[in-house]
Structure 1
């Protein structure tokens, strides 16, 4: 296979001139540039991309760890990451883990062996201490609030967001309030539960385990919740639902079963996905695409602007009133 030394010899130029031509640098005389490209075409030369990465110490590939792509919460974060990656000429490598610790570890190991330049973690099961042990291998950005000093993070205050929803429902006259969460053990869910309990205790309302629903991720889970609520002897009058998809399922299946929103059940959900607007669901808008953009920018600045000191950035949320309360 031809190499740049042979190209330089045949074109009658230096090796450094060939390198400048291949990398698009200016200040190369036009006749030399043409001579180099003529030889490149004659020899059918192709860049050895692995050698380029080795020489630069960079791959221009950013890893993105997420449990699933098939969920609006994560797909909206990915949308923001992808927009910035395209803008700056980076490639993305996705690690869909389904919360499998071994798959999460594989993503971290790829950072360690320099197959990716940095890693954005949308959600995880693996311990923060384990993640932090890889920070010497490259920048790691978490899409959650973390006190770990060695990790970058861009996040939403999920305690505040849930408290905002609870306060809104309470001001609307509700005290029999339930919730729907995804993974009950996740950091974000723990903060949401704390806000929920604090709000009920502030008005001396009971905390009812049978009004607390977990593992709610998809629209089909809304069917399960609507059915369960109808079977309860004492029913909640309102739900705080951590996903517009689940809220949409409750609205649609509830209508089928005879559970009407908001007359029988008020709903406040999260994300502000287009489906919440279509079904007139009151929701708390989470800036998920912006999270993705900020996460990518942190890694880009790490390499380009030498911003290697981990930073943490909290993004605001807002409540959008519609017809479900």
Structure 2
């Protein structure tokens, strides 16, 4: 196997010069840099990444823990991480955990064993205090709000209030909400916003475990079966909103005339359906989280709140005046 000494002989330069070229050192004469690059091509040199890691103490790799890679929310954050990693000449490893705590422990062990330089946690099931025990091995950055941790997040309480206020401005008082995991940090903040903002919040108008288009369709069918129904639904995502709308249209109901719906994400689906949505710049969350993970700022536990925007596609709802 070709090593840097072989390259030095072939290029007629010192081993130090070869090392500088391989590490993109700026102070190398052009003719010597070219000689080394020619030797690399001629001898088919492949860099031993393990040796590099041992010498630098870095893997140039960031780990990403997320429950599902195919969920639009998680995928959008991952896109931001991926683009930032490319720009910074880093690699990233993605672990899908399905919210299984033993799988999350495996990811944390990878940080402890120096398989990655740092860890970005998009969403998790383990308690925060259990995760932070591993911070001694490297940076851990959360993509949701927790006290005293490095975090890039949106204020789900305020974001949900924006959607609820939009309904109220149209005269809705009977409003329901859709949540994902009922006990997650984000869902608890959304539920608190609902209870603080809306006067009538019966438990049967809180639709939980809603993540996908199929979940939205199921919620629409459940809504149809209820003897007393809300006139408006603020959903957990644009995909859930799409499932509700498509299922109701299939059954001859009109949106927003029979049920007003607001999404959450600001995805392309919202544009296609002319759907009012709480837009979240998820890619920005991913980029900011990556920037913290590769810098020393994580030691100060920075907290960066990313603002949300209400994108209005909703028209006035005649059903409000009919009830």
TM-score (norm 2): 0.91
User: Match of 2:175?
Assistant: 177
**Structure 2 residue runs without a partner (length 5+):** 317-323
How much has 1:54 moved relative to structure 2? 1.2
| Match status 1:309 vs 2:309 | no
Hey, which bits of structure 1, 4+ residues long, moved more than 3 A? 5-14, 26-45
**1:82-161 equivalent positions in 2, closer than 5 A:** 82-147=82-147, 149=148, 151-161=149-159
CA distance in 2, matches of 1:175, 1:81: 40
How much has 1:133 moved relative to structure 2? 0.8
User: Match of 1:72?
Assistant: 72
User: Match of 1:198?
Assistant: 196
CA distance in 1, matches of 2:314, 2:200: 26
User: Match of 1:282?
Assistant: 276
User: Match of 1:256?
Assistant: 250
How much has 1:53 moved relative to structure 2? 1.2
**Structure 1 residue runs without a partner (length 5+):** none
User: Match of 1:62?
Assistant: 62
CA distance in 2, matches of 1:98, 1:126: 12
User: Match of 1:81?
Assistant: 81
User: Match of 2:50?
Assistant: 50
Which secondary structure state, in structure 1, belongs to the residue aligned with residue 314 of structure 2?
Answer: coil
How much has 1:21 moved relative to structure 2? 2.8
CA 1:11–1:284 in 2, change beyond 3 Å: closer, same or farther? Answer: closer
Q: How many residues are aligned here?
A: 316
Which secondary structure state, in structure 1, belongs to the residue aligned with residue 300 of structure 2?
Answer: coil
| Match status 1:17 vs 2:17 | yes
User: Match of 1:219?
Assistant: 213
How much has 1:72 moved relative to structure 2? 1.1
How much has 1:9 moved relative to structure 2? 5.6
Query: Structure 1 stretch 122-131 or stretch 171-180: which is displaced more?
Result: 171-180
How much has 1:31 moved relative to structure 2? 5.5
| Match status 1:163 vs 2:161 | yes
